[in-house]
Amino acid sequence: MFLVNRLEDVELPPIGATDVLVKMLAAPINPSDINMIQGTYAILPDLPAVGGNEGVAQIVEVGGQVTSLKAGDWVIPKDAGLGTWRTAAVLAEDDVISLPNNIPLLSAATLGVNPCTALRMLADFEDLKPGDSVIQNAANSGVGQAVIQIAAAKGISTINVVRDRPEFTQLSDRLKAMGGTHVIKEEALRRPEMKEMFKTCPKPKLALNGVGGKSATELLRHLQYGGSMVTYGGMAKKPVTVPVSALIFKDVKVRGFWVTQWKRDHSSDGKAFRAMLDELCQLVQQGKLTAPACTEVSLQDYGEALDSAMQPFTSAKQVLIM
C-alpha cells in the first residue's frame, strides 16, 4: 500500500467568536491513523486532509465567546478526524476538551484513544470485582498496556497473551512490571499449563480481542460460563470464528467496541467523557497509568515515523513532536 503524504504550509483561518487557536504539542501515530490513510477505516475524511486522530495541544488564543477554555490550557480532541499532525490549528471550542497540564506530555498525547478504550471495556461489559480476571491478546499494544495498568489499579488480574519473539523474556518482565499477572505466548493457550494456571487464577469473565483469527478463538475457550469476548481490533485481518460449543454450552457473549462510537453516543452532555478523562488523569497523577513506550520524532521526520509505525512487532509508539 502506497501512502501519499507530504508536509505543507497552510494558512490558518481567522479565529471566530467560538473558536480557539491551538499550538499542537505532540501527536501519536496509531493503527487507526494508518488505516484512515489507506482508506480502510470506518471514518474517511474528504481529501486533502490532515492526518492524525489523537494528540495534545495548548491553547494560544480564544475567541470572544469562548467560556470553557483559556490561554495555556492543554486540550485533546473530543472526536476522531480532527487532524492532529500539524503545528497549529483553529478549532471550534466544542471540538476539544481540557486536560490538566501537570501530567507528562506523552501521557496527555496518548490518553484519548487507548486508555479510554481500555477503561470502557473493563467497565461496560462485565461486572468485574477485585480478584476477578481478564484475558487479552495484543497485550503489548497501547490498549493492552492500558488494560494491564487500569486492571491492576482495580485489583483485577490479567492474563496477557503476546506473539512469540526473540525478546519475549524482556517483554514479559516489562508487562509484569506494569502490573500484568501472567504473560504467555499465543501457543501456550492450548497447552496443559493453562489448567495449572487456573488452579491459582480464576477463569476470566472477560476476554479482550485486538487480533482476530485463531487468537480470538483461543481466548474464547478460556472464558468462564456466560463471559464476554469484546473485539476492538483485528490486527491479523482474519475473521473471528466462534465455536458452536462456546455458544451452546458456555453461553458466551461476543461483542464489539469502538471508542469513537462511544464518544459520539455520549457527546450530548459531555459529562461521561469528562468523568472518564478525570478518572484516567487521576491514575496518571498517582503513577498508576503511564504512557506506552514511545519514540519521539520531529514532525519534519514524519516519513520515518510512519514507516516505523507499520513494522511488525513494534514495541514503541511513534509520537510526532511539534
Cell of 96: 476539544
The per-residue pLDDT for range 148-186, each reduced to its tens digit, is 999 999 999 999 999 988 889 999 999 999 999 999 999
Count of all residues that appear for the chain in the document: 322
**Binning pLDDT at 50, 70 and 90, where does residue 296 land?**
very high
Among residues of the chain, what percentage have pLDDT more than 90?
A: 85
Give the per-residue pLDDT at 3.
56
Mean pLDDT of 46-74: 96
The catalytic site residues sit at 41
Give the per-residue pLDDT at 15.
97
The per-residue pLDDT for range 17-43, each reduced to its tens digit, is 999 999 999 999 998 899 899 888 888
Q: What is the DSSP string of 182-250?
A: EEEEGGGGGSTHHHHHTTTSPPPSEEEESS-HHHHHHHHHTPPTT-EEEE---TT-------HHHHHHS
**Binning pLDDT at 50, 70 and 90, where does residue 100 land?**
very high
How does the average pLDDT of the chain come out, rounded?
94
List CB contacts of 165: < 8 A, sequence separation 6 or more: 171, 313
**Binning pLDDT at 50, 70 and 90, where does residue 257 land?**
very high
**Binning pLDDT at 50, 70 and 90, where does residue 294 land?**
very high
Asked if the model's pLDDT at residue 45 lies above 50, the reply is yes
Q: What is the CA radius of gyration of the chain?
A: 20
Q: Per mean pLDDT, which range of 25-29, 109-113, 224-228, 315-319 is the poorest?
A: 315-319
Among residues of the chain, what percentage have pLDDT more than 70?
A: 99
Mean pLDDT of 279-305: 96
Cell of 219: 481466548
Domains belonging to the chain, first-starting first, are 19-110+291-321 (3.90.180.10), 114-260 (3.40.50.720)
Distance CA 252, CA 116 (A): 24
Asked if the model's pLDDT at residue 1 lies above 50, the reply is no
Between the alpha carbon of residue 41 and those of residues 31, 108, 145, 168, 314, the distances in Å are 10, 24, 23, 31, 21
What pTM value is reported for the model?
0.95
DSSP secondary structure letter of residue 22: E
Distance CA 158, CA 172 (A): 13
| Residue 255, strand partner residues | 230
Amino acid at 209: N
DSSP secondary structure letter of residue 293: P
Give the per-residue pLDDT at 43.
87
Distance CA 221, CA 223 (A): 6
Question: When comparing pLDDT for 315 and 123, which is higher?
Answer: 123
Q: At what angle do helices 114-124 and 271-285 cross, to 10 degrees?
A: 110
Instruction: Give me the helices (H) in the chain, please.
Output: 31-38, 105-109, 114-124, 142-153, 168-178, 193-197, 213-221, 244-249, 259-265, 271-285, 302-309
**Binning pLDDT at 50, 70 and 90, where does residue 193 land?**
confident
